[in-house]
Amino acid sequence: MNLQLMKELYEENDASCRYQRVAAALEAGIARGLLKSGDALPTQRALAAELHLTVGTVTHGYAEAARRGLITGVTGRGTFVTSPGSDVDILPPPAPLSPSTQWPDASPSHSPCANAPHGKEHKNLGFIAPFEHLNPSLHAALERMIQGMDARAMAELQSYHRPAGMERHRECGAAWAGRYGVPVSGKDVLICAGSQHALVTILTTLCTAGERIAVETLSYPLLRHLSWRLRLPLAPIRTDACGMLPDALENACRSGGIRAVYLMPSCRNPTLTRMPASRRRDIVEICRRYDVLIIEDDVYALALSRADDTPPLAALAPERTCFIAATSEILGGGLRVAYLCPPQHMLEELERTISYTISMVPPLMAELASRWISDGTADATLAAKRREAATRNALARDILDGYPLVSRSTGFFCWLALPEAWTGQAFAEEAARRGVLVAEGEHFRMTPFCTERGVRLALGGLQHRETLAEALRTLASILEK
């Protein structure tokens, strides 16, 4: 990048602090189109010499720009302008969302792409709402609860309890974590208001501003936005067909500042990558060597039929792994209950954060989840959703036969790799014009240098298979063109 351009942008800005002027100069250059996504920035030493600043001042300015989501550092390569990305699967309506993230029940007036063909609503394959027509009956569950609980027990659900949750609810959480292969007891479990709340609790409690979070180059977009708000820079780590590369992770750890690594090892969002047992052991060994916390957010693991006994990272390294066992994907998106299983020595501080943020998860919601887990409803619902997912994955493979579709036998979504003629964004825009919403791969990028091009196709948001088939045939016709 031209040092002269940075000098001009810096001199035009009148921010009071010098490091703020560096960040503001970068922001102004991006806003005016002078700096584009992927542009390399000068080294901190070179820019400091050009602007007659100390290296520390420029370093502070780059850090502030990274906090604002303007730039990102790539280990061994330098610092680059990032590409803008919207929140995926995060913001509720009626906040404006990109076409790929429009919520399933949003009205056309809330959609930025309301001009579907012939006035029809879009077929939404962008938002993962896993077969919610198969969710257990809330009416039946509440009816049984009312009939089976006396007044004292009902009143207990309206009272305050310790932030970790009621003892019987934590025991059911431990049983649910066991479905993921995580061996814990109730005393090892904290009840959170969904997996996102569990992730926020981990990051705010166990990480300090300025510490870096290692993440795969394509990953859950919420982490990118949380890291920006919490001032926890991301360190994107290269991947292959088996997930995060151990050598690349070790190089990042060796450079210093890596506090935690975030992984979805059984079914990465959005590519469905599954990390084999040998790779997991390599990752664990590196994390132990450099004292790195492991955040295991395997939210879609239960969607898959377990074909082997691949252990979760929490079973390999229980002393440093925070495992998040979600329920919403199986029991319903409105049931905001997840079970956080951290190392014993972290429990107290994490529970304190829960008390600071939400006091406790509503006991009524935790009671519902506990009943469904203990009476077999959760397992029956999971089995039903797997059966439906198997049928829909087969349908997707049939209609998109001949195209590079990545699917799992019972996964809740697919990954459609795209030819060089398409970017994910361009393909998504064309699909939206034809009445189909997909999640473009650019939303999941943790670095502008990710070369994977594709779109994520959620299979469970449309209730009827025939509607899904129509949407998939539309995508096939775009690829044919």
**Token digits for 287?**
């994390």
> How confident is the model over 321-344, as a mean pLDDT?
95
pLDDT band at 75 (very low <50, low <70, confident <90, very high): low
**Helix and strand numbers, DSSP H then E, in the chain:** 18, 17
Element at 365 (helix H, strand E): helix 363-374
Residue 307 confidence (pLDDT):
52
Amino acid of residue 32: R
Mean pLDDT throughout 326-347? 95
Please count the residues of the chain. 481
Q: Under CATH, to which class is 99-134+379-480 assigned?
A: alpha beta
- CB distance 227 to 200 below 8 Å: no
Q: How far is CA 172 from CA 71, 177, 343, in A?
A: 43, 9, 18
**DSSP H helices in 208-257:** 221-230, 246-255
> What pLDDT sits at residue 112?
40
- Per-residue pLDDT, averaged over 179-200, amounts to 96
Q: What is the Cα–Cα distance from 353 to 430, expressed in whole angstroms? A: 44
Whether residue 94 is preceded by a cis peptide bond, meaning omega within 30 degrees of 0, is yes
Tell me the pTM: 0.79
pLDDT digits (tens, 9 = 90+) for 385-425: 999 999 999 999 999 999 999 999 999 999 999 998 899 99
Could you confirm whether domain 3-77 is CATH 1.10.10?
Answer: yes
d(CA 168, CA 375): 14
* pLDDT above 80 (res 281): yes
Query: Do residues 287 and 244 touch, judged by C-beta distance below 8 A?
Result: no
Q: Does residue 292 surpass a pLDDT of 60?
A: yes
SS3 105: coil
Domain boundaries, the chain: 3-77, 99-134+379-480, 160-375
CA distances for 92 relative to 110, 210, 458, angstroms:
11, 29, 18
Q: What is the pLDDT of residues 215-241, one digit of tens each?
A: 999 999 889 889 888 989 999 999 999
Residue pLDDT, tens place only, 293-305: 999 999 999 998 7
Rounded to whole angstroms, how far apart are CA atoms 55 and 52? 9
Whether the per-residue pLDDT at 87 is higher than 60: the answer is no
Mean pLDDT score, 362-376: 96
The pLDDT of 44-72, averaged and rounded, is 86
| Nearest alpha-carbon partner for 364 in 178, 165, 188 | 165
Q: How far apart are CA 247 and CA 165, in angstroms?
A: 40
160-375 domain in CATH 1.10.260.40?
no
Q: Is 449 exposed, middle or buried (0-12, 13-18, 19+ CB in 10 A)?
A: middle
Span 267-276, pLDDT tens digits: 999 999 999 9
Give the Cα separation of 135 and 300 in Å (integer): 16
Q: Identify which has the larger pLDDT, 67 or 222.
A: 222
The confidence score (pLDDT) of residue 102 equals 47
pLDDT score recorded for residue 17: 85
Lowest mean pLDDT among 119-123, 194-198, 199-203, 224-228: 119-123
